[in-house]
Structure 1
Amino acid sequence: MDFTKLKAALAVLSKAELGAPLVIVMVLAMLILPLPAFVLDLFFTFNIAFSLIILLVVVYTLKPLEFASFPTVILLATILRLALNVASTRIVLIEGHKGGDAAGKVIEAFGAFVIGGNFAVGLVVFAILIIINFMVVTKGAGRIAEVGARFTLDAMPGKQMAIDADLNAGLLTQDEARERRAEVATEADFYGSMDGASKFVRGDAIAGIIILFVNMIGGLAIGVLQHDLSFADAGKIYVLLSIGDGLVAQIPSLLLSVASALVVTKVGSSGENIGQQVTAQLFANPKALTVTAAVIGALGIIPGMPNMVFIILASVLAGSAYLIEKRHKEAELVAIDYPQEQIQNLAAPETKELGWDDVMPVDVVGLEVGYRLIPLVDKNQGGQLMVRIKGVRKKLSQELGFLIPSVHIRDNLDLSPTAYRISLMGVTVGEAEIMPDMDMAINPGRVFGTLKGNACKDPAFGLDAVWIEPNQKDHAQTLGYTVVDPGTVVATHLSHLLQSHAHELFGYEEAHKILDNLAKSAPKLVEDLVPKTLPLGVVVKVLQNLLQEHVPIRDMRSIVETLAEYGLRSQDPDILTSAVRAALGRLIIHEISGMQNELPVITLDHELEQLLHKSLQTAGESGVGVEPGLAEQMHTSLQESMQKMEMEGQTAVLLVSSYIRPWLSRFVRHSIPGLHVLAYNEIPADRQIKVVSTVGRRT
């Protein structure tokens, strides 16, 4: 006997893949085959237990996507319940004349014990369940699911933009960004499915009403016409059985409706299940409990009221408010303890003589934070800022071509508790205040509404923004805002400043490291350049010039080859920088316009270009010889041309001769940020130029 095949077959049978086919076979059996009363009791009990399991799973789920199969589960539970209705209807109509237990003990129990054997009471109870289920829970859940699906789909572009922004800032890896995008798509699919699944729950409630009346009318007809029962006896048997059958089906249906409502009404994904979320938010404010206790206590002293009940409840509420208030004060004291300890440490007397070790070296890159921002950088408190800063350094190092120095982070009690400060070489280059418990909603330029919160400016780019509560995030993204957490705000600000000051971070040590790495693959090339052709100081200055003009130095082979060629003719860093820029023209253009074949540009009028050329020849590259009025008019014209190109969705590029390009680049660097100044010899031969405007001398 082949035991290998037997083991494989048993392994297949033991897998969960057979669950769905077995359910389908079970449903078909209930629809087609007459079931014994005991089996029907078993299925009814399973149906109640299954619905209760679904409800409890929903209650303990932290976020809706953890139960992404919920719409499918709703469909399966609804089909199972409808199949049970068919099976129970068959046995009630066929065996009902034999007595109350002919259709099973469960139906008899619900018909006799739950409603006391009184079909009038049963009809009222059943009607109440139907009203609760159909008119309240199911209708409300269906509306919320519909609105949630629409808002989730509307918010998808904003969420995708936020993911792309984090990826570009180095806060996410490619794999993390891919997971985020998949989560956004799954969320949209989930709420779309919930919108449809709510229709199953609503239809199930309607079907319960119809099935009840069909069973009663059919039972009365069969009892009177086929089994020769009196109308009263037939009513007593079949009406009670029909009501019991309806109640057995409606209770699981109500549980499933409540589960659906809980899923679609849960807001946020704060790591808390529904019970924890409701408890934390409902009883977080002791004032509400105190006022409620006072009102209930006042009602309790009114004559004629059940005084003892009211007073006991008021006492419980007042005690709860006192305990919650006490817990809040203890938490505040713990939060304040940290800065007080720091102050004591700073005030400790000096116990040793000063030495050179006490002269601390200047941090190349420093980040100082107020004491309320310490949790953002403390891994033990769940802070993710350290990880994000590491991602920023890694991304910038790969993009720029040299290793970005480490960021030294420390707390500073002189700062505001919610402020941070970024420094380079010990000099502050940026500072701002953030709200550690809120999110920043940034207006990217086009939004479709306003938000309630504290207005502010994005510290990195100066965009209008609003500090909002975390539970407003989805709504803000729906309106077109880009929502980021406080850690992302700090990391993005740091990334922007490091990129803007990259040339200041690059020095002799970094140049040595780059040349040593290149020497591993091209030793002769590096040996011939430094120090035979150029001193290291000139090479460093050229690389700093490139970084200052936002040109990456990743392609060190091309840079060194160009320097080795032109270094024999001149050692002027500006001339060598122009030569290297021409060699890196393809890279520069790709950074600006990507793979587009046509490059829209702004040019200078021929007379103006000649005038600038002569002025620079006379006064040198300082540009002192350029007339101030002419410089102001040219500045205004360049700003207008740049704004026109940006409104058309184009990157602004000014194309001039190589001789005046360095001066013009310095001229617009700080006054017109975002305007790229290129020389004609930097345009690759396979790229076409489209002149969109010409700046001329104004008279």
Structure 2
Amino acid sequence: MDNAFSLRSLMSPNALRQMAAPILIVMILAMMVLPLPAFLLDLFFTFNISMSIMVMLVSMYTRRPLDFSVFPTVLLVTTLLRLSLNVASTRIVLLEGHTGPDAAGKVIEAFGHFLVGGNTAVGLVVFTILTVINFVVITKGAGRIAEVSARFTLDAMPGKQMAIDADLNAGLIDDKEAKRRRAEIGQESDFYGAMDGASKFVRGDAVAGILILLINVAGGLIVGVMQHDMALSQAAENYTLLTIGDGLVAQIPALIISVAAGLVVSRVGDEGEIGGQVVRQVFANPTIMMLTAAILGVLGLIPGMPNLVFILLASIFGGLAWWRMKHPPEKEEEVKKPTPEAVAQATEASQEASWNDVSPVDVLGLEVGYRLIPMVDKAQDGELLKRIRGLRKKFAQEVGFLAAPVHIRDNLELKPNAYRVALKGVEVGSGEAYPGQLLAINPGRVAGTLSGRETTDPAFGLPAVWIDAGQREQAHALGYTVVDASTVVATHLNHVILEHAAELLGRQETQALLDHIGKDSPKLVEDLVPKQLPIATVQRVLQNLLEEGVNIRDMRTITEVLAEHAPHVQDALELTSRVRQALGRAIVQGLFPGDAEVQVLALDPTLERVLMQAVSAGGGEGGAIEPGLADTLLKQTMALAERQESTGLPPVLLVPAPLRWLLSRFLRRSVPSLKVVANTEVPENRMIRVTGMVGAAG
């Protein structure tokens, strides 16, 4: 039963189709080493010719190059088949050529006698012309088209990919159609690249044909004269005719295959087969055919010209022009170009665009790959959803206002385990998380290494390793900080929100914050906005505080300070300085908790005097720092801040109030951990100790 089942499966049509290609390749390679009788040579030569004709017809009826994507492989197989037949026929020609013109089979004899009339010189000329046409004209042109097409297709891939993404985002296509189009773009580039390389097969085949011809002629003369005692003229006639017939039998199918390659790579558009395109585009205009008929008729009237031929062709073109004028291709034009009425009806039938089509950009968004969907799926009680709700509540308590909600959606363009945090549609953070695994973070002092997927903590950039849940105890013992995947994403999201708190405080959030304060102090808020300050100025002051890490929980103090100074100060920076002075106790307390010493960096008196002069020269707008001085200031501050952090203290630079905004803005990007505090912001009851002097000699 098992043997019968196996035999039945091997004889199935599907199995036979799969075995056809390997069997064909094995047979082609076998022809190079195994002697073949003349009858089999005739059979294979005829098969070669039929294959070349079939390939050319398929290429003519192909609408797009990708519809015949297997053509480079077919080109290789047919070239290999021709070369194998050349080897097999050469063996027979040299072994049996002395017996007569039919020694290598009837096909070679027919090509040697019928096509060139048994004339050796004519045969050589015809063979040379066919080789030149194939090698110099058709193959070279087809190879150049394939090369340029491959290059242009590769250069156009990013633009086509963006167009596909745009259609997908606009809802014009679905995910399956987008994947199909992307695959088609890649296949198109691969096809033209393969065609560029496959054209070298035909070019090498032409060179091999010439060499085989010369070798066969020389070898035939040697064999005939030296081994079979033939006269030189008789040996030359026998072996040369057989060799020319062999060359023509191989070169004509090669020429047909080259023409097929040129037809495939030179196709433009996908309107139909080549014959239909030629008829539609060449013979569609009756005016052109009428002018052609007139020119041929004039040439036919010139004495000495073949009048009958020219007049006959002129009559044919004139008749085609008259018939085309009587039967214009109206139906084809209607199909290709819709009438204005049809366009108007289609436009009316389509739904009009409205403001509902304009979707607002999410203030804060989280996009996840498909493997992270269970972490944010409400139906699956996703752990990350709870953490996001918790961190948003924690943010409101610590920073002082309620940020926009986090909009979560899946994104199939991301890697399966990747996620992306977007602020107003722009990516501000990304990373990868692996549900079911743990992230072991190296805080800097660990006792060993762990096996796993090495990475970095997405929030703070610390070296880390993704480990299996069973390695938790080992990681704790070595000193690693171990967190799960949802905590990794939530921590990173919290870090991004805190880092961009100023951008999250929009006009709507500012108004909501003032309305919230107005419930307890309605008169204070009513007198301030909009009577004394516009809401835009209040928003700018609050954003200035958030940009430097100062929370705005004490809105009562902030509002009172603004109300006090608004009558004579309208500048947002100056108002920010006044608010910071009022919040000085909270600012210093956040940096140095309790009643500990305020250990800070300070400016050298000489440097302080130079910077004060720069501020004065700037008219109170901040001024500018000389480039050399700015470079020195930046390097020394970075070095001292690193030393301060290495001792476990927060890097704080204490400066005079007029310099605070200038230095804070200048140093913020290069030393993000540094806090610049004005001396007027430090409470009188706090003890100050200077641990480093910026600008001091040495």
TM-score by length of 1: 0.54
Give 1 or 2 for the bigger CA radius of gyration: 2
Q: Which residue of 1 aligns with 2:133?
A: 132
The aligned runs of 1:564-575 (5 Å cut-off) are none
Question: Residues 631-690 of structure 1, C-alpha deviation per residue, up to 9 Å, x if partnerless?
Answer: 9xx9xxx9xxxxxxxxxxxxxxxx998999xxxxxxxxxxxxxxxxxxxxxxxxxxxxx9
Q: Does 2:425 align with 1:592?
A: yes
Q: Does 1:319 align with 2:249?
A: no
Say whether residues 1:247 and 2:80 are aligned partners: no
1:293 to partner: Cα distance: 1.9
The letter for the 2-side match of 1:61 is T
Task: Sort the Cα spacing of 1:579 and 1:298 in 2 relative to 1 into closer, same or farther, 3 A.
Answer: farther
Distance verdict in 2 for CA 1:133–1:157, change over 3 Å: same
The aligned counterpart of 2:289 is 289
- Give the aligned residue type for 2:170: A
Give the corresponding residue for 1:300: 300
Within a 5 Å distance, the mapping from 1:663-674 to structure 2 comes to none
Paired with 2:276 and 2:183, the residues of 1 have a C-alpha distance of 28
Aligned residue for 2:348?
410
**Given the superposition, is the C-alpha separation of residues 247 and 337 from structure 1 closer, same or farther in structure 2, using an over 3 Å criterion?**
closer
| Aligned-residue offset at 1:149 | 1.3
User: Structure 2 residue aligned with 1:498, among 336, 352, 357?
Assistant: 357
Q: Contact 2:292/2:317 (CA < 8 Å) preserved in 1?
A: yes
Alpha-carbon shift at residue 183 of structure 1 (Å) = 0.9
Q: Which residue of structure 1 aligns with residue 152 of structure 2? A: 151
User: For residues 333 and 40 of structure 1, do their structure 2 counterparts lie closer, same or farther at Cα, with a shift above 3 Å needed?
Assistant: closer
Distance 1:74 1:692 in 2: 61
Q: Are residue 371 (structure 1) and residue 372 (structure 2) matched?
A: no
* Aligned mate of 1:422, from 329, 352, 362: 352
CA distance in 1, matches of 2:337, 2:408: 58
* Percent identity (aligned): 51
Q: Does 1:235 align with 2:236?
A: yes
CA distance in structure 1 between the partners assigned to 2:255 and 2:129 by the alignment: 11
CA-CA distance at 1:692 after TM superposition: 7.9
> Which residue in 2 is equivalent to 1:280?
280
Instruction: Go from structure 1 to structure 2 and tell me whether the alpha carbon gap of 1:169 and 1:325 turns closer, same or farther (over 3 Å shift).
Output: farther
Aligned to 1:75: 76
Q: Which moved more, 1:314-323 or 1:121-130?
A: 314-323
Equivalent residue letter for 2:8: K
The one-letter code sitting in structure 2 at the alignment partner of 1:320 is: L
5 Å-filtered alignment, 1:631-650, equals none
Instruction: Describe the superposition over 1:32-81 as per-residue Cα deviations: whole angstroms up to 9, x where unpaired.
Output: 11111111110100000011111111111111111111101111101110
TM-superposed deviation, 1:161: 1.0
For the residue of structure 1 that corresponds to 2:62, the secondary structure is: coil
Aligned-residue CA RMSD (Å): 4.6
User: Which residue type is aligned with residue 103 of structure 1?
Assistant: A
Amino acid at match of 2:312: I
* Contact persistence 1:616–1:626 (CA under 8 A): no
Change (3 A) 1:66 1:589: closer
CA-to-partner distance for each residue in 1:496-553, whole Å, 9 max, x for gaps?
x612599xxxxxxxxxxxxxxxxxx99xxxxxxxxxxxxxxxxxxxxxxxxxxxxxxx
Shift of the 307–170 alpha-carbon distance from structure 1 to 2, 3 Å rule, reads same
Letter in 2 for 1:282: V
Deviation at residue 124 of structure 1 after TM alignment: 1.0
**Unpaired segments ≥5 residues, structure 1:** 340-369, 378-408, 412-419, 430-496, 503-520, 523-554, 563-577, 639-654, 661-689, 694-699
**Amino acid corresponding to residue 63 of structure 1 in structure 2:** R
**8 Å contact kept, 1:152–1:187:** yes
Q: Distance in 2 between matches of 1:30 and 1:329?
A: 53
Q: Give the whole-Å Cα distance in 2 for the aligned partners of 1:116 and 1:293.
A: 38
Q: 2: distance between equivalents of 1:308 and 1:21?
A: 57
The corresponding residue for 2:648 is: none
Residue in structure 2 matched with residue 59 of structure 1 by the alignment: 60
Question: How far off its partner does 1:580 sit?
Answer: 9.0
1:626 deviates by 6.8
- Cα 1:586–1:145, aligned 2, differ >3 Å: closer, same or farther? closer
Q: CA distance change for structure 1 residues 332 and 59 in 2, over 3 Å: closer, same or farther?
A: closer
Pairs within 5 Å for 1:587-626: 592-593=425-426, 595-596=429-430, 597=492, 598=496, 603=502
Paired AA for residue 26 in structure 1: M
Relative to structure 1, the CA distance from residue 178 to residue 14 in structure 2 (aligned partners, 3 Å threshold; closer, same or farther) is closer
After TM superposition, the structure 1 = structure 2 runs for residues 91-106 of structure 1, keeping only pairs within 5 Å, are 91-106=92-107
Q: What does residue 51 of structure 2 align with?
A: 50
Instruction: State the partner residue of 2:219.
Output: 218
Task: Measure, in 1, the Cα distance between the counterparts of 2:92 and 2:20.
Answer: 27
CA distance in 2, matches of 1:54, 1:136: 19
Contact 1:603–1:656, Cα closer than 8 Å, also in 2: no
Tell me the distance in 2 between the aligned counterparts of 1:255 and 1:170: 46
Cα distance change, pair 619–239 in 1 and its aligned pair in 2 (3 A):
farther
Contact 2:10 2:16 in 1 (8 A): no
> SS at 1:100's partner residue?
coil
For residues 413-562 of structure 1, the aligned pairs below 5 Å read 422=352, 424=354, 498-500=357-359
Give the paired residue count.
Answer: 434
TM-superposed CA distance for 1:298, in Å, is 1.5
Other structure's SS at 2:358 match: helix
CA apart distance, 1:282: 2.1
Q: Which has the higher contact order (CA 8 A, sep 6+)?
A: 1
Equivalent position amino acid for 1:410 in 2: E
Structure 1 326/593 Cα, relative in aligned 2: closer, same or farther at 3 Å? same
Letter in 2 for 1:31: M
Q: Which amino acid aligns with 2:320?
A: S
**Unmatched tracts of structure 2, length 5 or more:** 362-377, 380-384, 393-399, 410-420, 431-491, 544-549, 559-664, 671-698
CA 1:423–1:657 in structure 2 vs 1: closer, same or farther (change >3 Å)?
farther
2:86 aligns with: 85
* CA-to-aligned-CA distance 1:153-190 (integer Å, 9 cap, x gap): 11111111111111111111111111111111111111
| Distance of aligned partners of 1:179 and 1:619 in 2 relative to their CA distance in 1, 3 Å threshold | farther
- How far does residue 286 in structure 1 lie from its aligned partner after superposition? 3.1
Partner Cα distance (2:31, 2:524) in 1: 95
User: In 1, are the aligned partners of 2:401 and 2:552 still within 8 Å (CA)?
Assistant: no
C-alpha separation in 2, matches of 1:330 and 1:12: 46
CA distance in 2, matches of 1:99, 1:337: 65
Distance 1:203 1:230 in 2: 35
- How far apart are residue 133 of structure 1 and its match? 0.7
CA distance in 2, matches of 1:329, 1:212: 52
Q: CA deviation at 1:305?
A: 1.9
- Contact persistence 1:208–1:250 (CA under 8 A): yes
| Alpha-carbon distance between aligned partners in 2 of 1:289 and 1:192, rounded to the nearest angstrom | 39
TM-score, normalised via structure 2 length: 0.54
Matched residue, 1:416:
none
